């Protein structure tokens, strides 16, 4: 990791892997002579996140970005690798009270604000649950005050606490999930596509709110999204995932102005952008291969215009470059030149 | 409403929608989901219809293809295809037009295909329903269509089932299905929303090419301004059941005339410039039960005047297009409005 030595990392992910067993049942396998099948959803990634920054993971569906989010908050145990949070190994054995103290400090915001709030609970109870669970309120009045403050922080009113989730619009519900995530006074928030179920004008409200809260409370975000324009606005650094691997990571401006990996370039080419109404998007041939049977060598080689025999055989290592890191033989060998990009509208 | 936002060319319009109203009777009264919507589409033209969820854009599309889900119903206005009224046709006649003259593409390619039939069987059935063809000829046409939408190995893939195709390939099959009988108009409702960005670009390029090659008109319903910017010739922006602005796509994006359109454009994150905050429109679109008096956008509008609170604007010429906003009423406050203002 290029930044590891200069930044003190707050969250450190090392060699993280998660494989899912999708084999047929044992008896079927024995009868039909089939072997076990593994999906390598996350196949060895390293990320360092500094305190107070927003690290974004982008990629197309099935690239494993949501699995990383779930691994980080501990919803899945990793197959291999370690996750360190503020110097402590998340997987390490410890007594119950210690692990609760650790969990209080990280929270998650989910994609679908319709599915992530219990429809039978009042908003007050939804937001009060983490406060009660971690014993953060001294009295009933204190609890009410805390929930009221949280609702105000996300631009709702304390009176909204008496309502049920169905009485709110999608954007308001996402504000409620943000209030719930903030209730345990966390330092690190994992946001899995928090705005992709929302309309654009509401998306802007939520993104602005998230940036305001970050400044106010010094929060650190791991932000998962498939929308590169959103990522460009909210992130400090960006990692690009393809088939369970991190193919490139860089500070936001570097990634967008001087993209290196051919896949990153392809993704940037496909963003529909209003500033470039005259421009034709270059449609890229091919689709993401099945993670059940990933290509050999560099997993992007079947779609890559710069692939050669080495790319087909040997998996590229992630090498530091220009404040970031990229895993590509063509860049490493200097076969592929790095060009500057300009997104200003054509005159 | 007297103004009909005309298409750019002077050609006879292929589709004319005039003062369309769609309503939903409910226990608590009738909800007007599409309110006095008028536009037309010329042959070979792509009209984009954008708006946030609940703006009435999909309902307008469904009204045109005659697939409004009950209890929704067309309560007024008319829809003409090639000069012929189609909104009051009996179900069986409309069924013949749908498919033959109007093709439909929906958002989710998995649910718009029958999982139990091979794609070939679905294509052949559709072709034979609308065109007098033998089974062998229909199969040949089906293979040609699959080739045209860019499915590699079409001769072999035709006997595969929908689950054997990826999302992008399925959407290509759905487009081939819509093209079966050589329709004059395609109503595409969020055709790229369920797809990844790299596949999105492929599908958009395909739609554009087909439109150019066949002279097919397209009504493209989407919430994604980026898709509209690259595909459409003109764009209609909908808000709370009405068209608030319609005009050439470049003008609407760069020089929007309605405050809502300006806010909408500003709230889309762009790679061109990076700012501390995105422009946001506070609040959200009103529910159909709570549409305010006057201009439906007035509670969220920063340029609201007194007239906006009492009188609802119709489309007024603005720039190269039309906008439903009193800011463009250069003639000033008319007698009707002054009277209302005095009453208020």
Contact in structure between B55 and B28 (CB atoms under 8 Å): no
- Structure confidence at residue A3 (pLDDT): 45
- Structure confidence at residue A107 (pLDDT): 93
How far apart, in whole angstroms, are the C-alpha atoms of residue B232 and residue B191?
Answer: 14
How far apart, in whole angstroms, are the C-alpha atoms of residue A128 and residue A309?
Answer: 58
Helix ranges (H only) for chain B are 57-65, 91-100, 119-130, 135-148, 154-157, 167-179, 197-214, 225-231, 249-254, 259-266, 306-310, 335-343
Q: What residues of B are in contact with residue A277 (Cβ under 8 Å)? A: 229-230, 249-250, 253-254
B3-54 pLDDT, tens digit per residue, is 445 544 556 889 999 999 999 998 888 889 999 999 999 998 999 999 888 8
Q: Does B152 touch chain A (CB under 8 A)?
A: no
Q: Which of A5-19, A113-127, A283-297, B56-70 has the weakest average pLDDT? A: A283-297
Residue B139 has pLDDT above 90, yes or no: yes
A305-335 pLDDT, tens digit per residue, is 898 999 999 999 999 998 999 999 999 998 8
How far apart, in whole angstroms, are the C-alpha atoms of residue A78 and residue B105?
Answer: 41
- Alpha-carbon torsion angle A255, A257, A261, A267, nearest 10: 90
Taking CB atoms and an 8 Å cut-off, how many pairs form between chains A and B? 134
Beta pairing, strands A245-251 & A324-326: antiparallel
B289 to chain A, closest Cα gap in Å: 14
B263-313 pLDDT, tens digit per residue, is 988 888 877 777 778 888 888 888 888 888 999 999 999 888 889 999 999
Nearest residue in B to A211, CA atom: B277
- Structure confidence at residue B152 (pLDDT): 85
Residues 40-59 on B with a CB inside 8 Å of A are: 52-53
Q: What residues of A are in contact with residue B281 (Cβ under 8 Å)? A: 201, 204-205
Contact in structure between A103 and A72 (CB atoms under 8 Å): no
- Structure confidence at residue B342 (pLDDT): 43
Q: Residue A256, SS3?
A: helix
Q: What residues of A are in contact with residue B266 (Cβ under 8 Å)? A: 204
- Band the pLDDT of A281: cuts 50, 70, 90: low
Cis peptide before B40 (omega within 30 of 0): no
Q: What is the mean pLDDT of chain B?
A: 86
- Domain borders along chain A are 9-105+186-333, 122-183
Q: What residues of A are in contact with residue B275 (Cβ under 8 Å)? A: 233
B69 to chain A, closest Cα gap in Å: 23
**Nearest CA to B144 among B179, B118, B117?**
B179
- Band the pLDDT of A259: cuts 50, 70, 90: very high
Q: Would you put residue B83 in left (φ > 0), alpha (ψ -120 to 50) or beta?
A: left
B297 to chain A, closest Cα gap in Å: 13
Q: Residue A14, SS3?
A: strand
Q: Which residue has the higher pLDDT, A292 or A109?
A: A109
Q: Does B110 touch chain A (CB under 8 A)?
A: no
| Residue whose tokens read 């554009």 | B208
A134-180 pLDDT, tens digit per residue, is 999 999 999 999 999 999 999 999 999 999 999 888 889 999 999 99
Residues 213-232 on B with a CB inside 8 Å of A are: 223-227, 229-230
How far apart, in whole angstroms, are the C-alpha atoms of residue B268 and residue B301?
Answer: 18
Residue B103 has pLDDT above 50, yes or no: yes
Q: Does B136 touch chain A (CB under 8 A)?
A: no
Distance set, CA A127 to CA A115, A165, A216, A248 (Å): 15, 11, 20, 37
Residue B169 has pLDDT above 80, yes or no: yes
Contact B249 A277 (CB under 8 A): yes
How far apart, in whole angstroms, are the C-alpha atoms of residue A186 and residue A211?
Answer: 15
Contact A226 B197 (CB under 8 A): yes
How far apart, in whole angstroms, are the C-alpha atoms of residue B79 and residue B169?
Answer: 33
**Looking at residue B266, what DSSP letter applies?**
H
> Which DSSP helix (H) or strand (E) runs through A202?
helix A200-217
- Structure confidence at residue A276 (pLDDT): 52
Q: Does A326 touch chain B (CB under 8 A)?
A: no
Q: Does B92 touch chain A (CB under 8 A)?
A: no
**Nearest CA to A150 among A142, A158, A162?**
A158
* Mean pLDDT on A56-69: 90
- Structure confidence at residue B340 (pLDDT): 47
Q: Which residues pair with B103 in a beta bridge?
A: B186
Residues 187-206 on B with a CB inside 8 Å of A are: 196-202, 204-205
Q: What residues of B are in contact with residue A274 (Cβ under 8 Å)? A: 225-226, 229, 253, 265, 268, 270
Q: Does A300 touch chain B (CB under 8 A)?
A: no
- Band the pLDDT of A99: cuts 50, 70, 90: confident
> pTM to 2 decimals?
0.84
Q: Would you put residue B36 in left (φ > 0), alpha (ψ -120 to 50) or beta?
A: left
* Mean pLDDT on A77-89: 89
End-to-end Cα distance, chain A:
40
Tell me how crowded residue A5 is: count the other CB atoms within 10 A of its CB.
Answer: 7
- Band the pLDDT of A103: cuts 50, 70, 90: confident
Beta pairing, strands A54-58 & A88-89: unpaired
How far apart, in whole angstroms, are the C-alpha atoms of residue A158 and residue A180?
Answer: 14
Q: Does A230 touch chain B (CB under 8 A)?
A: yes
Nearest residue in B to A343, CA atom: B272
Q: Does A288 touch chain B (CB under 8 A)?
A: yes
- Band the pLDDT of B136: cuts 50, 70, 90: very high
Q: What residues of B are in contact with residue A61 (Cβ under 8 Å)? A: 196
End-to-end Cα distance, chain B:
23
Q: Does B344 touch chain A (CB under 8 A)?
A: no
Q: What residues of B are in contact with residue A173 (Cβ under 8 Å)? A: none
| Residue whose tokens read 């003190």 | A8
* CATH number of the A9-105+186-333 domain: 3.40.50.300
CA A141 to the chain's CA centroid: 36
**Looking at residue A4, what DSSP letter applies?**
T
> Which DSSP helix (H) or strand (E) runs through A150?
helix A140-153
The residues near B114 (Cβ < 8 Å, ≥ 6 apart) are B122, B162
Contact in structure between A238 and A58 (CB atoms under 8 Å): yes
Nearest residue in A to B206, CA atom: A283
Q: Which residue has the higher pLDDT, A284 or A196?
A: A196
The residues near A297 (Cβ < 8 Å, ≥ 6 apart) are A310, A311, A312, A313, A314, A315, A316
How far apart, in whole angstroms, are the C-alpha atoms of residue A173 and residue A202?
Answer: 11
Exposed e or buried b per residue across B198-219, where buried means at least 16 C-beta atoms within 10 angstroms of its C-beta: bbbbbbbbbbbebbeeeebbbb
**Nearest CA to B124 among B68, B80, B181?**
B181
- A180: tokens are 């719930």
Share of chain B above pLDDT 70, in %: 93
Contact A281 B271 (CB under 8 A): no
Q: Does A171 touch chain B (CB under 8 A)?
A: yes
How far apart, in whole angstroms, are the C-alpha atoms of residue A204 and residue A194?
Answer: 11
- Structure confidence at residue B332 (pLDDT): 55
B217-253 pLDDT, tens digit per residue, is 999 999 888 888 888 999 999 999 999 999 999 889 8
Contact A270 B282 (CB under 8 A): no
Nearest residue in B to A271, CA atom: B197
- Band the pLDDT of A214: cuts 50, 70, 90: very high
Contact B205 A345 (CB under 8 A): no
Tell me how crowded residue B113 is: count the other CB atoms within 10 A of its CB.
Answer: 20
Nearest residue in B to A253, CA atom: B274
Nearest residue in B to A171, CA atom: B284
How far apart, in whole angstroms, are the C-alpha atoms of residue A42 and residue A242?
Answer: 10
Q: Does B129 touch chain A (CB under 8 A)?
A: no
How far apart, in whole angstroms, are the C-alpha atoms of residue A107 and residue A118?
Answer: 17
How far apart, in whole angstroms, are the C-alpha atoms of residue A5 and residue A38?
Answer: 35
**DSSP for B79-106?**
EEETTEE-TT--HHHHHHHHHHTEEEE-
- Band the pLDDT of A49: cuts 50, 70, 90: very high
State the best of A204, A207, A251, A300 to mutate against chain B, taking most chain B CBs within 10 Å: A204
State the best of A200, A300, A304 to mutate against chain B, taking most chain B CBs within 10 Å: A200
**Nearest CA to B295 among B242, B220, B256, B343?**
B242
B204 to chain A, closest Cα gap in Å: 9
State the best of B46, B166, B172, B201 to mutate against chain A, taking most chain A CBs within 10 Å: B201
How far apart, in whole angstroms, are the C-alpha atoms of residue A214 and residue A209?
Answer: 9
The residues near A294 (Cβ < 8 Å, ≥ 6 apart) are A40, A43, A243, A244
Q: What residues of A are in contact with residue B265 (Cβ under 8 Å)? A: 274
* Mean pLDDT on B160-185: 89
Contact B269 A211 (CB under 8 A): no
- Structure confidence at residue B6 (pLDDT): 54
B129 to chain A, closest Cα gap in Å: 33
Share of chain B above pLDDT 90, in %: 44
């Amino acid at each position: 990791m290029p930044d590891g030595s200069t930044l003190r990392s707050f969250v450190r992910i090392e060699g993280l892997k998660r494989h899912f067993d999708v084999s047929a049942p044992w008896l079927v396998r024995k009868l039909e002579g089939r072997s076990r099948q593994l999906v390598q959803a996350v196949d060895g990634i390293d990320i360092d996140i500094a305190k107070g920054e927003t690290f974004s993971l982008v990629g197309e569906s099935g690239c494993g970005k949501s699995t990383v989010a779930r691994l980080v908050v501990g919803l899945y145990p990793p197959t291999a690798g370690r996750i360190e949070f503020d110097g402590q190994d998340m997987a390490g054995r410890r007594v119950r009270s210690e692990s609760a103290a650790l969990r209080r400090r990280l929270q998650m915001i989910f994609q679908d604000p319709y599915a992530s709030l219990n429809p039978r609970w009042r908003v007050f109870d939804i937001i009060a649950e983490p406060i009660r669970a971690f014993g953060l309120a001294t009295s009933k009045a204190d609890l009410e005050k805390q929930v009221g403050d949280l609702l105000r922080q996300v631009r709702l009113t304390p009176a909204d606490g008496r309502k049920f989730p169905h009485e709110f619009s999608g954007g308001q519900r996402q504000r409620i999930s943000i209030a719930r995530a903030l209730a345990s006074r966390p330092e690190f928030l994992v946001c899995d596509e928090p705005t992709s179920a929302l309309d654009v004008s509401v998306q802007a409200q939520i993104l602005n709110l998230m940036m305001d809260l970050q400044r106010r409370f010094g929060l650190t975000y791991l932000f998962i999204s498939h929308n590169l324009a959103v990522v460009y606005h909210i992130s400090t650094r960006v990692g690009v995932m393809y088939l369970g691997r991190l193919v490139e990571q860089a500070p936001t401006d570097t990634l967008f102005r001087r993209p290196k990996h051919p896949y990153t370039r392809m993704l940037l080419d496909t963003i529909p952008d209003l500033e470039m109404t005259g421009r034709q998007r270059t449609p890229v041939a091919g689709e993401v291969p099945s993670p059940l049977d990933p290509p050999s060598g560099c997993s992007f080689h079947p779609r890559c215009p710069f692939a050669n025999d080495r790319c087909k055989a040997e998996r590229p290592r992630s090498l530091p470059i220009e404040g970031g890191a990229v895993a590509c033989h063509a860049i490493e060998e200097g076969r592929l030149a790095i060009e500057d990009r300009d997104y200003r509208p054509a005159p | 409403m007297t103004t009909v936002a005309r298409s750019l060319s002077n050609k006879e319009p292929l589709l004319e929608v005039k003062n369309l109203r769609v309503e939903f009777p409910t226990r608590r009264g009738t909800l007007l989901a599409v309110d006095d919507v008028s536009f037309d589409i010329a042959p070979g033209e792509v009209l984009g219809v954008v708006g946030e969820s609940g703006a009435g854009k999909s309902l307008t599309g469904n009204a045109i293809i005659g697939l409004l889900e009950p209890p929704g119903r067309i309560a007024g206005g008319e829809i003409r295809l090639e000069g012929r009224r189609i909104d009051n046709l009996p179900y069986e006649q409309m069924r013949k037009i749908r498919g033959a003259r109007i093709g439909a593409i929906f958002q989710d390619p998995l649910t718009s295909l029958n999982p139990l039939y091979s794609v070939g069987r679905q294509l052949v059935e559709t072709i034979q329903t609308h065109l007098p063809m033998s089974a062998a000829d229909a199969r040949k046409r089906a293979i040609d269509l699959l080739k045209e939408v860019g499915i590699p190995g079409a001769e072999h893939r035709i006997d595969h089932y929908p689950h054997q195709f990826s999302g992008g390939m399925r959407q290509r099959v759905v487009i081939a299905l819509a093209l079966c009988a050589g329709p004059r108009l395609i109503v595409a409702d969020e055709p790229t929303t369920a797809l990844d960005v790299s596949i999105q670009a492929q599908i958009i390029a395909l739609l554009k090419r087909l439109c150019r090659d066949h002279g097919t008109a397209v009504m493209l319903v989407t919430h994604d301004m980026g898709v509209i910017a690259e595909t459409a010739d003109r764009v209609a922006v909908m808000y709370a059941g009405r068209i608030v602005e319609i005009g050439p796509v470049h003008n609407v994006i760069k020089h929007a005339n309605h405050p809502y359109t300006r806010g909408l454009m500003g709230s889309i994150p762009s790679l061109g410039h990076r700012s501390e905050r995105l422009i946001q429109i506070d609040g959200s679109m009103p529910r159909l039960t709570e549409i305010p008096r006057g201009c439906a956008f007035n509670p969220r509008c920063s340029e609201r005047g007194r007239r906006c609170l009492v009188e609802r604007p119709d489309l007024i010429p603005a720039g190269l297009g039309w906008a439903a906003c009193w800011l463009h009423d250069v003639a000033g406050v008319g007698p009707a409005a002054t009277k209302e203002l005095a009453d208020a």
